[in-house]
């Protein structure tokens, strides 16, 4: 098994003194703290190269950290080794007779799964095993539908399975040593991504984007690591919505992971609109680009996903930022593609935003974390900076179309640092 040093835990009795040393004297940055309720501890991570230090503060007398300090005083508490599959690691240790504190993995900080090995098995050092959030998602895909109420509108986050894209391309100029901590790559350097269309139900029923769909062959599935064990059909059934219920299909842009689900191949092999009653709303500039691809964007555009819509006469082109149905408005962001658009949803004084590929995952919240796929990355940067400030100031519910674990959340700014509070 491959294990990477993730962090070193330090039991802290006097936090201000520890901060005075690690932050003020050494000049290190201390990340916003996170409470781990199950352990009654507050964790303050300190980046020091790839591994981090974790200052652990007890928040209740029954905390294991409080007990440790009482018995042995403050100091080194544990080391954490990151593994790809924590259940497999535990099974392997058990098979070799290693004594475990946790027989099964349980939730840790930052959405991870953790388990402790007994120090008697590991030369007197308490060893924590950790499977980070994205790797946890592979085994516990967060793919249930989620319902939200926004004024008079109902929003339902649905999903169309998972796929994988090259991690380097997904994070542009961000070095791998940084992004691999948030999005661990597989052996082909690909990271896990979800496809999460959004249903908006008001006077009419709309779906924004529709995932990748099911028209692609085995080679495509292999290249993009498609996981079709659950698809948009399953999610719609769970939401009790049939394709006939959809009045409007709204495209943020026409890349295959957003528009593939717009059409289906029927038994006769003919490609037809997947939502038989719907009008499909597409930005005209995006349509022009998608129907005239060049070498830089050709791999993302597959004509079968949208040309049959024009043939069927169900296409509605929009040229400007405008209201598509009451409470739903599109706004061009540019950046990812010249005419990429985000969607604002507003009702009863509350606002939500479906940002599509402007901020594809929660890992893309920091300013410079812009996709290499973007045709105009500096435009993405400026659009994103402006949007995120607004999201913080106005308490906007933000939907992340490709995040493998988090469908939506609120962006908060704590001590000048942005964090996401999952909804």
Question: Near Zn ion by CB under 5 A, which window of 34-42, 75-83, 225-233, 254-262?
Answer: 254-262
Question: Near Zn ion by CB under 5 A, which window of 77-85, 172-180, 350-358, 407-415?
Answer: 350-358
Contacts of 109 (CB under 8 A, 6+ apart): 34, 36, 43, 45
Least separation in angstroms between CB 233 and Zn ion: 20
With b meaning 16 or more CB within 10 Å and e meaning fewer, what string describes 88-102? ebbeebeeeeeebee
Question: Near Zn ion by CB under 5 A, which window of 63-71, 81-89, 218-226, 253-261?
Answer: 253-261
Nearest to 406 by CA among 375, 364, 374, 376: 364
d(CA 80, CA 114): 9
What size, in residues, is the chain? Answer: 423
Among 255, 283, 364, 384, binds Zn ion (CB under 5 A): 255
Least separation in angstroms between CB 327 and Zn ion: 24
DSSP class of residue 139 equals H
Residue (202 or 211) nearer to Zn ion, CB? 211
Among 257, 289, 346, 379, binds Zn ion (CB under 5 A): 257
Question: Near Zn ion by CB under 5 A, which window of 12-20, 87-95, 102-110, 256-264?
Answer: 256-264
Least separation in angstroms between CB 376 and Zn ion: 13
* CB neighbour class for 361 (10 Å; exposed up to 12, middle 13-18, buried from 19): buried
Residue 216 found at the interface with Zn ion (CB under 5 A):
no
DSSP class of residue 143 equals -
Number of residues that bind Zn ion (CB under 5 A): 3
Among 6, 159, 286, 357, binds Zn ion (CB under 5 A): 357
Task: Compute CA distances 142 → 83, 131, 405, whole Å.
Answer: 20, 15, 5
Least separation in angstroms between CB 256 and Zn ion: 9
Which residue ranges make up the site for Zn ion (CB under 5 A)? 255, 257, 357
């Amino acid at each position: 098994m491959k294990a990477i040093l993730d962090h070193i835990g330090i039991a802290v009795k006097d936090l201000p003194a520890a901060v005075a040393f690690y932050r003020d004297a050494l000049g290190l940055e201390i990340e916003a703290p996170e409470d781990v309720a199950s352990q009654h501890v507050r964790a303050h991570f300190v980046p020091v190269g790839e591994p981090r230090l974790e200052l652990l503060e007890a928040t209740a007398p029954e905390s294991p950290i409080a007990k440790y300090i009482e018995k042995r005083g403050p100091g080194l508490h544990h080391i954490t080794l990151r593994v790809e599959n924590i259940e497999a690691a535990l099974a392997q240790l058990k098979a070799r007779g290693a004594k475990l504190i946790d027989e099964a993995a349980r939730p840790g900080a930052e959405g991870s799964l953790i388990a402790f090995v007994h120090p008697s098995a590991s030369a007197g050092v308490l060893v924590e095993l950790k499977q980070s959030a994205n790797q946890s998602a592979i085994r516990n895909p967060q793919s249930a539908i989620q319902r939200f109420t926004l004024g008079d509108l109902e929003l339902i986050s649905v999903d169309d399975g998972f796929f994988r894209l090259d991690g380097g391309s997904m994070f542009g100029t961000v070095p791998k040593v940084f992004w691999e901590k948030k999005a661990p790559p597989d052996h082909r350097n690909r990271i896990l991504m979800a496809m999460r269309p959004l249903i908006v139900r008001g006077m009419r029923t709309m779906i924004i984007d529709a995932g990748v769909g099911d028209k692609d062959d085995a080679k495509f599935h292999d290249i993009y690591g498609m996981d079709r064990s659950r698809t948009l059909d399953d999610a719609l059934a769970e939401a009790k919505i049939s394709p006939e219920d959809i009045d409007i299909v709204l495209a943020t842009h026409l890349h295959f992971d957003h528009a593939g689900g717009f059409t289906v191949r029927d038994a006769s092999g003919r490609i037809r609109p997947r939502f038989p009653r719907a009008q499909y709303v597409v930005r005209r500039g995006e349509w022009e680009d998608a129907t005239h691809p060049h070498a830089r964007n050709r791999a993302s555009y597959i004509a079968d996903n949208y040309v049959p819509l024009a043939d069927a006469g169900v296409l509605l082109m929009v040229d400007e930022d405008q209201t598509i149905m009451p409470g739903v408005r599109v706004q061009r962001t540019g950046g990812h593609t010249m005419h990429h658009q985000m969607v604002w949803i507003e009702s009863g004084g509350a606002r939500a935003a479906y940002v599509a590929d402007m901020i594809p995952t929660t890992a893309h919240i920091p300013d410079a974390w812009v996709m290499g796929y973007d045709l105009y990355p500096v435009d993405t940067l400026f659009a994103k900076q402006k949007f995120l400030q607004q999201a913080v100031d106005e308490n906007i519910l933000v939907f992340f179309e490709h995040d493998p674990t988090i469908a939506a959340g609120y962006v908060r700014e704590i001590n000048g640092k942005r964090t996401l509070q999952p909804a």
